[in-house]
Amino acid sequence: MKILFLQWKCVVEQKDLEEAFVQEGHSLVSFWFSTNEILYGNPSNFEKNVIKVIQKEDPDIVFSINYYPPITNICSKVKVRYVSWVYDSPFDWMYFKEIMDPCNIVYTFDKELAMEFHSSGINTVRYLPMAVNAERLDILTEGLPMMYNVSFVGNFYKDADFFSGKRSQLTDYTKGYLDAVKDSQLKIAGYDLVSEVIGGDVLDELCKVYLRYPIPGDLRTDKYFMAMSVINPWITCVERMGLLEVVAENFGMDLFSKERDFILPNLNNHGPVNYCEEMPKVFRQSRINLNISRRGMRSAVPLRCFDVMGSGGFLLSNFQSGFLDMFVPDEDFVFYDSKEDFVQKIGYYLAHEDERAAIAKNGHDKVAAKHTYRHRVREMLDL
């Protein structure tokens, strides 16, 4: 099969996917583009250039990491299949009218989200978990010594937390209501409470304070927008900072993040690390690697978790039901269900090195055996 791979500067290491496509017997043509250009600028030049490549190369499918409506418009126009694989959740561009075009096959790593689209009569969205290039990670991390006890690689969504900036404009009732929602959501794992309880006068007030700018084709409701773009990023930020604070206080903490201004006693803030080369080494050299999923995800297992296990690291994560489709708790990874459980399990596995190392090895071996990019390419293109 001949694939036109539309590439952009994203978190996923696209060379790993390129290699997997070729190893599975497919031929590739690469075309680089800017997402800002096609989403917020004038996409006409992009469309003209892509159509020219399609007419020249005659690919069987067009492929991209994440889904973009302007690519659907191109593929629909020239009658070629558009396959995309979304690694973000929630991902707003999936909620545009173009998603329903039959030229699409949109893979999401969140099974419950795929089921939600399907139950709405949209059959272009399907489930496909994330993956890693286990062979490359093995070579990169082989023989590295332990350097860190507890590590977190990631950000706090402070740049997306515009809830706090306009909070003072809300009434005391709404602020109190949202604080109660936050406190309740922080006690619940694997379920999006916010989307269920934001409505009525509270939603009306949020819509007046947090203005939306209309975009043609946008199918997102006000309730969805406020839950996913306003409230959940705020809760995620509060949760991550709170959990890292308790880790630093009790065990010491190594943070690898662009949030350079996050400073605590017993916390080493190393700044951001390169995804492809540096991050896997951090995972391998940490006794415990934390995953604290973004609130608003339904069941998805984030890419970070595959990266940790694929690098041979020990994973401690919040509960996501998607884990149970692929991994065995306390055998391949460990999950926590409360702040108290979180602290207890960190202490336990720091003190039980042999158990921790065995779980890390099991997780690594299962990822290498069943969850590589080659596995996903076969599933993706088996259609």
**3-class SS of residue 308:** helix
What's the pTM? 0.94
Contact status, residue 151 vs residue 37, Cβ threshold 8 Å: no
Cα 20 from chain centroid (whole Å): 21
Contact status, residue 377 vs residue 383, Cβ threshold 8 Å: no
Say how far apart CA 23 and CA 271 lie, in whole Å. Answer: 35
User: What is each CA distance from 104 to 30, 80, 81, 272, in whole angstroms?
Assistant: 19, 9, 6, 35
Q: Note the pLDDT of residue 212.
A: 85
% the chain with pLDDT above 70: 98
Q: pLDDT band for 163, please (50, 70, 90 cuts).
A: confident
Q: pLDDT band for 107, please (50, 70, 90 cuts).
A: very high
pLDDT tens, 266-277?
999 999 999 999
Closest CA to 129 of 367, 382, 383: 367
Say how far apart CA 296 and CA 285 lie, in whole Å. Answer: 30
Dihedral (CA of 332, 336, 342, 345) sign: negative
Q: Note the pLDDT of residue 160.
A: 55
**3-class SS of residue 115:** helix
Q: pLDDT band for 215, please (50, 70, 90 cuts).
A: confident
pLDDT at 173 over 60: yes
Q: pLDDT band for 13, please (50, 70, 90 cuts).
A: confident
Long-range contacts of 269-275 (CB under 8 A, 24+ apart): 273/153, 275/11, 275/13
Q: Note the pLDDT of residue 36.
A: 86
